[in-house]
């Protein structure tokens, strides 16, 4: 639906006019209807383009300063990584201009200069304006073509357009106009409506110009458009003069003005890089909103955010060392005393000294039992200080060289796949939700094998039986933890858009082209809008059993599996971090290679999440596109959540109340892991839209790193060259073999 208003002209000189706004959900306005998107209203009549709301008052997003800081950190990483990937598309013979990669507002020469918070507007997507576009029309009868510069230009001439007499022999009365729903788009982010002319560079005037707007034979300015061919590329203009009818070309072509301006005198020799693509404005490649998301940190754990700042590598290393138990040498008494006094915990140190004196008395008197007791008390104190949240005394950690190497190559990871970022986010989730105590019988996180009063059956015996069966099924599924997060706090923001391609490079005619990431047009206050949505919906949290995962990796035979045993101090996630591999910015490094521990773990978690989502969709009534996923590889965990800003009706909690263990047992059934495409899918890696692929809007990893084989066995995933053509054992196969044994 649309609200009444005056159409905003698209030319710069008329931006003072008001524009109508549309009524859509916040999630729609922040993605599919974000500025620059083409759409049509109900009924399919009239193509429009979204534009920022230029009202004097703005809808500020209700987020804390700490959340803004998280958004800015993500933006800086996204802009830097996008530019690096797009700029690398150039060659020595075909150089790339920085402006082809990133919006000029973010560039100073070939250097990315991120916008600060004072130049960004963090908005809640409550209002979005729009204008009609493209402003091109053709008569259904006589093919007469008309193009207008702006909505106000159309409004001024609408009377003449309606009165135009149709020249078709079988027509009576005025022309029957329809909007030309085909536009030209380019990976520079620009678009253009149909026109007879074609942008070229003029060395004489030193600017781009549009030759072809007049007939080269008779000089006429009116044209007709032949749209008879089912192939858009073969539509063509010809002179409307009945005595001329000259046709310039059998093909419909247009050049990108922005790229022409960049190439200038070299535009003629780089025509392939300038050529725009004619497509319907409804095509998905006409617009790709660029969005990111992250876990919101609880207010009590805001200090975790600082660990992700570029200059905080030392603190981040200490956090990783503590979390995954990379122990170093014991702290000295002076180091512990200094830390406790700095934290204002003099009483803690006094307690330690008292026990220390008692240990001395016991040692001097030969009291062996007393000495052992006092040493145990001292160890308890030190353990409590070093493991509290946050720790009163930071333990000395000794990170392996491989982990330090991972810290130095963090720039090769994007935030959503950075193991360090995800580890910090999981810790925030753990402190804020997973470790929270029940509140009045209703827990923030309900473990299905230890139900709270709200989710459990009312009968105590039924509750005990259900929990026991749940635990058995969890063991068979290789799960160490499983439950319901009542409010999964997530922030999603949209910061710009691209056209033709959603990633920084595009292959055209055998060459890689840089795709330009564009920011949204400035608001009336000059700031660039960032559309932010926060949500707190129900989610399912799943953590795999590390012993089960390690046993499966041994069975598969990955080549870089580190030695590990659950009895040792270092957690499996710490060993996994040492062999982590970046997938590359936008999966540029995700190619066939040796069987890798980290890739197999990620594939297992990702596949498990998709299978769980499909199971949820079948039993809860939620659509696959209405769900999302978040993966924490070092913690062997993932979250499946309801993705939406409308009222949460409790679908996931209702799912457990109604189905509970039937929901889990379905994950063990062979039919859950089959594909309708059969061997065709198996031979292609075990993942296709017929089985575990989901809509890309719901998938965190663009449906990469997926294979049914990692769960139930089958042909090795497409990324594994070591076991190419061989069958690998599935995680569930290995778990149940050990469980039955």
Q: Does residue 296 register a pLDDT over 70? A: yes
Planar angle of CA 740, 569, 557, nearest 5 degrees: 50
Q: 212: which 2 tokens?
A: 């072809």
Q: Does residue 18 register a pLDDT over 80? A: no
* 8 A C-beta contact, residue 554 and residue 471: no
What would the DSSP string read from start to end of 661-694? HHHHHGGGSGGGG--TTTHHHHHTTS--TTTT--
Per residue in 102-148, pLDDT tens? Answer: 999 999 999 999 999 999 999 999 999 999 999 999 999 999 999 99
- Give the ranges where 199-332 is alpha helix by DSSP (H): 257-263, 271-274, 303-306, 313-323
Q: Does residue 11 register a pLDDT over 60? A: no
Residues 6 or more apart in contact with residue 679 via CB below 8 angstroms: none
**In the predicted model, what is the mean pLDDT of the chain?**
88
What pLDDT is recorded for position 360?
87
- Give the ranges where 311-449 is alpha helix by DSSP (H): 313-323, 333-342, 346-365, 368-387, 401-408, 419-429
Q: 498: which 2 tokens?
A: 């691209």
Residue, of 11 and 393, whose pLDDT is higher: 393
Q: Does residue 43 register a pLDDT over 70? A: no
**Kind and range of the H or E run holding 613:** helix 597-620
User: Which range, of 158-162, 174-178, 406-410, 587-591, averages the lowest pLDDT?
Assistant: 587-591
Q: How confident is the model at residue 16 (pLDDT cuts 50, 70, 90)?
A: very low
* 8 A C-beta contact, residue 671 and residue 613: no
Per residue in 374-421, pLDDT tens? Answer: 888 888 888 778 766 667 777 767 788 999 999 888 878 888 899 999
Pairing of strands 511-514, 277-280: unpaired
What pLDDT is recorded for position 696?
79
Q: Does residue 321 register a pLDDT over 50? A: yes
CA distances from 66 to 70, 301, 302, 672 (A): 6, 10, 7, 42
Nearest to 135 by CA among 75, 215, 195: 195
What pLDDT is recorded for position 585?
64
What pLDDT is recorded for position 35?
96
Q: 630: which 2 tokens?
A: 């978040």
What pLDDT is recorded for position 438?
66
How large is the average pLDDT for residues 276-288? 91
Per residue in 707-741, pLDDT tens? Answer: 999 999 999 998 999 999 899 999 999 999 866 55
Q: Does residue 689 register a pLDDT over 50? A: yes
Sheet of 191-193: strands edge to edge? Answer: 191-193, 182-185, 277-280
Instruction: Supply φ then ψ for residue 127, to 5 degrees.
Output: -130, 140
Q: How confident is the model at residue 33 (pLDDT cuts 50, 70, 90)?
A: very high
What pLDDT is recorded for position 730?
95
pTM above 0.95, yes or no: no
Q: Domains of the chain: which residue ranges?
A: 135-286, 295-404
Share of the chain above pLDDT 90, in %: 53
First to last CA, the chain: 61
Crossing angle for the helix pair 597-620 and 546-556, nearest 10 degrees?
Answer: 120
Sheet of 145-147: strands edge to edge? Answer: 145-147, 136-139, 177-179
Q: How confident is the model at residue 14 (pLDDT cuts 50, 70, 90)?
A: very low
Sheet of 47-51: strands edge to edge? Answer: 21-22, 128-132, 47-51, 38-40
Per residue in 460-503, pLDDT tens? Answer: 999 999 999 999 999 999 999 999 999 999 999 999 999 999 88
Q: 702: which 2 tokens?
A: 């663009």
Q: 483: which 2 tokens?
A: 């439950």
User: Which range, of 255-264, 644-653, 665-674, averages the lowest pLDDT?
Assistant: 644-653
Per residue in 436-459, pLDDT tens? Answer: 766 657 889 999 999 998 899 999
Q: How confident is the model at residue 5 (pLDDT cuts 50, 70, 90)?
A: very low
| Cα 708 to Cα 710: distance, rounded to the nearest angstrom | 6
Per residue in 181-231, pLDDT tens? Answer: 899 999 999 999 999 999 999 999 999 999 999 998 999 999 999 998 888
What pLDDT is recorded for position 398?
78
What pLDDT is recorded for position 234?
85
How large is the average pLDDT for residues 329-354? 84
Pairing of strands 528-544, 120-123: parallel
Q: How confident is the model at residue 41 (pLDDT cuts 50, 70, 90)?
A: confident
Residue, of 188 and 685, whose pLDDT is higher: 188
**Kind and range of the H or E run holding 163:** helix 151-163
Q: How confident is the model at residue 12 (pLDDT cuts 50, 70, 90)?
A: very low
Cβ count within 10 A of residue 433: 22
What pLDDT is recorded for position 446?
94
What pLDDT is recorded for position 3?
46
How large is the average pLDDT for residues 418-431? 92
Nearest to 293 by CA among 531, 26, 626: 531
Q: Does residue 695 register a pLDDT over 50? A: yes
**Kind and range of the H or E run holding 120:** strand 120-123
Instruction: Supply φ then ψ for residue 108, to 5 degrees.
Output: -135, 95
């Amino acid at each position: 639906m649309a609200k009444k208003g005056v159409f905003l002209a698209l030319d710069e000189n008329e931006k003072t006019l008001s524009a109508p706004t549309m009524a859509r959900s916040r999630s729609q306005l922040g993605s599919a209807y974000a500025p620059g998107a083409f759409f049509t209203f109900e009924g399919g009549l009239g193509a429009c383009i979204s534009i920022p709301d230029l009202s004097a008052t703005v809808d500020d997003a209700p987020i804390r300063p700490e959340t803004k800081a998280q958004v800015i950190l993500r933006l800086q990483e996204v802009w830097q990584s996008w530019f690096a990937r797009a700029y690398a598309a150039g060659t020595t013979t075909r150089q790339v201009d920085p402006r082809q990669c990133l919006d000029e507002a973010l560039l100073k020469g070939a250097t990315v200069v991120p916008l600060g918070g004072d130049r960004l507007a963090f908005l809640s997507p409550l209002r979005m304006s729009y204008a009609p576009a493209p402003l091109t029309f053709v008569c259904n009868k006589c093919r007469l073509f008309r193009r207008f510069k702006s909505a106000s230009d159309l409004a001024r001439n609408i009377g003449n357009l309606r009165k135009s007499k149709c020249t078709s022999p079988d027509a009576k009365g005025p022309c029957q106009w329809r909007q030309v729903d085909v536009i030209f788009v380019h990976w520079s982010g620009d678009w253009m409506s149909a026109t007879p002319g074609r942008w070229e560079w003029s060395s004489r005037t030193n600017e781009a110009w549009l030759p072809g707007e007049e007939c080269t034979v008779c000089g006429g300015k009116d044209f007709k458009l032949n749209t008879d061919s089912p192939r858009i590329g073969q539509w063509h203009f010809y002179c409307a003069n009945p005595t001329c009818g000259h046709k310039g070309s059998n093909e419909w072509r247009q050049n990108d003005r922005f790229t022409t301006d960049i190439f200038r005198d070299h535009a003629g020799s780089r025509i392939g890089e300038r050529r725009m693509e004619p497509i319907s404005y409804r095509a998905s490649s006409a617009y790709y909103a660029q969005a990111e998301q992250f876990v919101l940190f609880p207010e009590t754990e805001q200090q975790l955010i600082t660990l992700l700042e570029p200059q905080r590598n030392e603190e981040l290393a200490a956090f990783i060392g503590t979390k995954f138990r990379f122990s170093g040498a014991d702290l000295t008494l002076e180091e512990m005393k200094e830390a406790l006094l700095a934290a204002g915990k003099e009483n803690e140190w006094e307690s330690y000294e008292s026990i220390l004196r008692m240990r001395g008395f016991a040692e001097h008197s030969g009291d062996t039992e007393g000495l052992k007791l006092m040493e145990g008390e001292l160890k308890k104190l030190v353990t409590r200080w070093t493991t509290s949240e946050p720790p009163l005394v930071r333990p000395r950690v000794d990170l392996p060289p491989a982990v330090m190497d991972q810290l130095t190559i963090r720039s090769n990871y994007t935030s959503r796949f950075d193991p360090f970022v995800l580890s910090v986010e999981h810790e925030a989730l753990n402190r804020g939700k997973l470790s929270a105590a029940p509140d009045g019988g209703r827990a923030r996180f309900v473990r299905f094998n230890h139900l709270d009063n709200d989710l459990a059956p009312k009968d105590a015996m039924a509750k005990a039986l259900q929990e026991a069966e749940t635990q058995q099924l969890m063991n068979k599924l290789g799960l160490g933890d499983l439950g319901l997060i009542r409010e999964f706090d997530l922030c999603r923001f949209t910061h710009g858009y691209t056209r033709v391609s959603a990633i920084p490079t595009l292959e055209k005619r055998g060459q890689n082209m840089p795709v330009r990431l564009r920011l949204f047009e400035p608001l009336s206050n000059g700031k660039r809008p960032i559309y932010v949505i926060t949500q707190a919906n129900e989610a399912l949290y799943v953590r795999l059993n590390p012993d089960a995962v390690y046993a499966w990796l041994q069975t598969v035979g990955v080549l870089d599996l580190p030695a590990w045993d659950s009895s040792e101090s270092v957690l499996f996630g710490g060993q996994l971090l040492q062999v982590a591999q970046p997938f590359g910015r936008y999966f540029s490094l995700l190619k066939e290679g040796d069987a890798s521990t980290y890739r197999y773990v990620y594939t297992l978690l990702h596949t498990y999440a998709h299978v769980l989502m499909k199971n949820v969709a079948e039993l809860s009534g939620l659509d696959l596109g209405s769900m999302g996923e978040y993966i924490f590889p070092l913690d062997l965990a993932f979250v499946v959540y309801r993705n939406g800003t409308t009222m949460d009706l409790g679908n996931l909690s209702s799912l457990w109340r109604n189905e509970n263990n039937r929901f889990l047992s379905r994950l063990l059934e062979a039919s859950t892991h089959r594909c309708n495409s059969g061997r065709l899918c198996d031979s292609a890696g075990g993942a296709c839209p017929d089985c575990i692929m989901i809509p890309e809007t719901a998938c965190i990893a663009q449906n990469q790193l997926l294979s049914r084989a990692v769960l139930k066995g089958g042909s090795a995933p497409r990324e594994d060259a070591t076991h190419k053509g061989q069958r690998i054992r599935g995680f569930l196969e290995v778990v149940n073999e050990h469980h039955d044994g």
